[in-house]
Structure 1
Amino acid sequence: MPHTELPSRASIASRLDALPFARPHLRVLTGSGLGWALDAMDVGLISFIIAVLAQQWQLTPGETGWIASIGFVGMAIGASVGGLLADRLGRRQVFAITLLIYGLATGASALVGGIAMLLVLRFFVGLGLGAELPVASTYVSEFAPAAIRGRVIVVLEAFWAVGWTASALIGYFVIPASADGWRWAFALGAIPAAYALVVRWGLPESPRWLASRGRLAEAERIVSTFETAADLRRTRAPRADAAVRPVAVSAAQRVGALWSAEFRTRTLCIWLVWFCVNFAYYGAFIWIPSILVQAGYDLVRSFGFTLLITLAQLPGYAVAAWLIEVWGRRATLSVFLAGSAVSAMLFGTASTEGAIIATGMALSFFNLGAWGALYAVTPELYPTSLRATGSGWAAGVGRLASIVAPLLVPVLLATGGAPLAFTTFAAFFVVATVAAWGLADLRGRALDER
């Protein structure tokens, strides 16, 4: 088929699947990854800021819990709406808008004088952040070659560790430096607003999404650019693939299709995994600095411990990225979830500094490796016309758990201390481990293969 002819939707998809990883892929990955890292920096910063504001503003445990949870209310709404918008308006467009929303809201948080306005702004931060994460993973998965798609998404998720480490560094060096250190931390969190411009004009739209909307000429130009960079030339017609028909067109049809006979088991299991992992992760990691302060460690020492624990995230991602194309999605996800359960139990009963750091690093290693595998498997469960919606609603259901967890942690701590809280988190990890085996494993297969 000559370049002047419009390709079919299926040929666009098959050519993307067959491409080797090249410079344009790296650009999409790093461009999206930087946005992901900035997201993580914002979420991580609030855990340090809560510990400071609890002292400066003399907040009750309930008030600090709401500072953590209100952002997740926004994230639950943002994830669900963002996925629907990304399937309608495009991946890149929604990605940029969400970066702008939460970047501006984070920067404005530096100017607040009381808890009421901070809660309002944290809601808008969550709104943008919740929409951005599932859209970014969908976007990158639609470019990634089939043979290494899972590995690419885990590497994307690894940017979360970069951002969380940056937040730990800011928490250690900037926040304790002065009474207004937390304001400077929020100001640094405004960087995503500027980065949104880079995303909007610097990254290409997903050819799969363009093709699904009938914009085949635009999709062809982008795919040709990738083929040229990979030194590939189409000298023969692509195989005659069957037409890729949209599963659903309207927003209501897309949400309904998640529970059709074809997808209901996948949807139930992925929602359950997202819910349990969000509950355990945000319940633990948002509160670790505050738990250490309550255990008698000063702010600087508590933040130093948290920084060391955070550093274990990167090797967790690295191992998950390797295993996900060796063991597959389900096995990798379930092993890392089981490791998270054991680590949570051990961390909850740790009493010495060495044990706190060692078990905290183990929890960080396994939990973030599990996150990488979860973000890799989620977009693969649904076809292009449904992918961002499916990913967004799974994330949205997960955010419901992240609303409840920070509010429940003070109650758990008051009732049974850290052992009860982290035993509860371990139980949620166990449920997620079991649910992971109900997911489809598309390792090495075409993205739209169902």
Structure 2
Amino acid sequence: MSSVAEPSVTEPAQLTRSQRLDRLPFTRLHGRLLGGSGIGWALDAMDVGLISFLMVAIKKEWGLSTGQVSWLASVGFIGMAVGASLGGYLADRIGRRNVFALTLLVYGLATGFSALSPGFWVLLAFRFVIGLGLGAELPVASTLVSEYAPARIRGRMVVLLESFWAVGWVLAALIGYYIVPKDNGWRWALLLGVVPALYAMYVRRGLPESVRFLERAGRIDEAEQSVRRFEESAGIAPVPSPNPEKVTKMSPKALWEKRFAGRTVALWLTWFGVNFSYYGAFLWIPTFLVAQGFPMAKSFEFTLWITLAQLPGYAVAAVLIEKVGRRFTLASFLLGSAVAAMAFGQASSESTILLTGCLLSFFNLGAWGALYAVTPEVYPTMLRATGSGSATAFGRIASIIGPLLVPWVHDNHGTGPTFVLISVSFAVAMLAALGLPERKGKELQNS
């Protein structure tokens, strides 16, 4: 007797391939996709997180000014802005998996070579190239996972993907604590960035291409084979699928058509506010703590504990996003972030710094998870990666401005006003998030 279950009597005689994916339970292939994409995500986070620790060591070794160190942080985000926009555009045209693997290769090699930098300007150039790869990877990976996830758990799967960011940031904190303070420690830390380049070879061969992309590209046999592999993994018999209707390719200008313009504005403003707040705060927390008189090792230890608070933030967001919806979860975590940022700016003792820092980390990263879950759901298949990449790219503008503006405000006005600014940015993002569509449990749009 076959181990593959027959379709139920209530199941339609024909389902689209997207509907066939949506009816599946979570299988080992979903787990493999989530884990494979998540490892790339964690490596990305490790690279971004390392710069917050490297800035302290490089500034001391090379005698850099605060402005130069700010540019080391921001130039990577300039690259990420370009990479996010370009990566999303390419993913809608040559495939999600291909772009994902290429971005890992680019930023992995560039990070490894940056360890050999003889001076500030060479390192600055490498940070830009690293940013190109990092920026393109994130929206592409979340789009790929979103397009395979069953509708009823799609948001949760994308939040779990985002939770790998905390794993990468914790790795960065551990490297920062144990390796960076040693002689040439920052160079050894950067050499670890070669790992993503090696991992890119697995991604290219081990992860599936998006079924929705394959259909739109006319590669119907490949799309059917991919769906059947997931159905076999779930023990569910395939049903016939009609070939998809031909859809006119959408240019990036379509983001501003009447039906998309409102959600594009809301999405871009949310991304802007979250990026400004997150990178304005977390890249500088170790430096701010040193400025308050804490030894470098102690500031790194505080940052490690604050980073660990990201994990329960993701866990709670993953539960809420399928219970109460994407929009409410995102807005609630952004509100919590705004309040926590205000409290962190007033903290002075070790205990209050740790408590408010952990709360800021909890709410902020929970908001990130919800934002990545809702972003691929905003647009149809032919515009999904382009729209996600464009929103990410606009947000990266804020991640450029934040690391430049925040230390200036801190040096001239102190910690309190600095985190008032960050709190206001969170509040703006919260208001914008209320304008996003709610698609909890709904099928992804194809047109």
Q: Do 1:271 and 1:398's aligned partners in 2 also have CA atoms closer than 8 Å? A: yes
For 1:245 and 1:349, the matched residues in 2 are separated by: 57
Is 1:391 matched up with 2:388?
Answer: yes
* 1:201 correspondence with 2:213: no
For 2:310, the equivalent position in structure 1 comes to: 313
Distance 1:203 1:330 in 2: 30
1:175 to 2:180 alignment = yes
Q: CA deviation at 1:296?
A: 0.5
Q: What is residue 170 of structure 2 aligned with on the other side?
A: 165
Instruction: Give the match for residue 122 of structure 2.
Output: 117
Q: Secondary structure at the match of 1:262?
A: helix
Match of 1:289 in 2: 286
- Pairing 1:1-400 to 2, within 5 Å after superposition: 11-176=16-181, 178-234=182-238, 236-237=239-240, 243-246=244-247, 248-249=248-249, 253-400=250-397
The CA RMSD over aligned residues, in Å, is: 1.5
How does the TM-score come out when normalised to structure 2?
0.95
How far has the Cα of 1:101 moved from its partner?
0.3
Q: Is the 8 A contact 1:104 1:190 kept in 2?
A: yes
CA distance in 1, matches of 2:51, 2:155: 30
CA distance in 2, matches of 1:47, 1:32: 24
Aligned with 1:35: secondary structure?
Answer: helix
- Letter paired with 2:352: A
Question: Residue 222 of structure 1 aligns to a residue in which SS?
Answer: helix
Kept after mapping to 2: 8 A contact 1:12/1:211: no
Distance 2:263 2:251 in 1: 15
After TM superposition, give the deviation of residue 254 of structure 1 in Å: 2.2
What residue ranges of structure 2 are gaps of 5+ in the alignment? 1-13
What is the CA-CA distance between 1:244 and the residue it aligns to?
Answer: 5.0
- Contact 2:15–2:240 under 8 Å retained in 1: no
Query: Structure 1 runs of 4+ off > 2 angstroms?
Result: 243-246
Cα distance in 2, alignment partners of residues 335 and 425 from structure 1:
16
AA aligned opposite 2:276: F
Kept in 1, the 8 Å contact 2:382–2:446? The answer is no
**Structure 1: how far apart are the matches of 2:147 and 2:96?**
10
Summarize deviations over 1:327-378 as a string: whole Å, max 9, x none: 1000000000000000000001100000000000000000000000000000
Determine helix, strand or coil for the equivalent of 1:39: helix
In structure 2, relative to structure 1, the CA distance for the partners of 1:63 and 1:10 (3 Å cut) is: farther
CA distance in 1, matches of 2:221, 2:257: 32
What is the letter of the counterpart of residue 29 of structure 1?
A: L
Aligned counterparts of 1:350 and 1:51: Cα–Cα separation in 2: 22
- In 1, distance between residues paired with 2:15 and 2:376? 18
Q: Deviations over 1:287-320 (max 9, x none)?
A: 0000001111111000000000000000000000
The structural deviation recorded for 1:411 is 1.1
**Distance (whole Å) between structure 2 residues aligned to residue 296 and residue 210 of structure 1:** 56
TM normalised by structure 1 equals: 0.95
Deviation at 1:58, TM superposition (A): 1.0
Alpha-carbon separation, structure 1, partners of 2:240 and 2:417: 62
**Paired residues of 1:71 and 1:123 also in contact (CA < 8 A):** yes
CA contact (8 A) 2:277 2:422 kept: yes
2:427 to 430, 435, 447: 430
Supply the distance in 1 between the matched residues of 2:22 and 2:276 (Cα, whole angstroms): 34
Contact map agreement 1:315 1:365 (CA 8 A) in 2:
yes
SS at match of 2:444: coil
Q: In the TM superposition, what whole-angstrom CA distance separates every residue of 1:83-132 from its partner, at most 9, and x where no partner exists?
A: 00000000000000000000001001111111000000000000000000
In structure 2, distance between residues paired with 1:129 and 1:449: 27
- Residue 207 of structure 1 aligns with an amino acid whose one-letter code is V
Show the counterpart of 2:5. Answer: none
Any conservation in 1 of the 2:34–2:145 contact (CA below 8 Å)?
yes
Structure 1: how far apart are the matches of 2:245 and 2:445? 8
**Which stretches in structure 1 are left out of the alignment for 5+ residues?**
1-8
Aligned residues: 435
Q: Distance in 2 between matches of 1:79 and 1:171?
A: 27
* Aligned counterpart, 2:11: none
Contact 2:284 2:407 in 1 (8 A): no
Counterpart of 1:351 in 2: which secondary structure?
Answer: coil
Structure 1 SS opposite 2:103: helix
Instruction: Give the Cα–Cα distance (whole angstroms) in 2 for the partners of residues 237 and 413 of structure 1.
Output: 62
Q: Distance in 2 between matches of 1:67 and 1:218?
A: 43
Q: CA deviation at 1:56?
A: 1.0
Q: 1:4 maps to what in 2? A: none
User: How far apart in 1 are the matches of 2:406 and 2:122?
Assistant: 23
Contact in 2 for aligned 1:10/1:244 (Cα 8 Å)? no
Per-residue deviation at 1:245? 4.8
Amino acid at match of 1:401: A
Secondary structure of the residue aligned to 2:156 is helix
1:402 to 399, 404, 410: 399
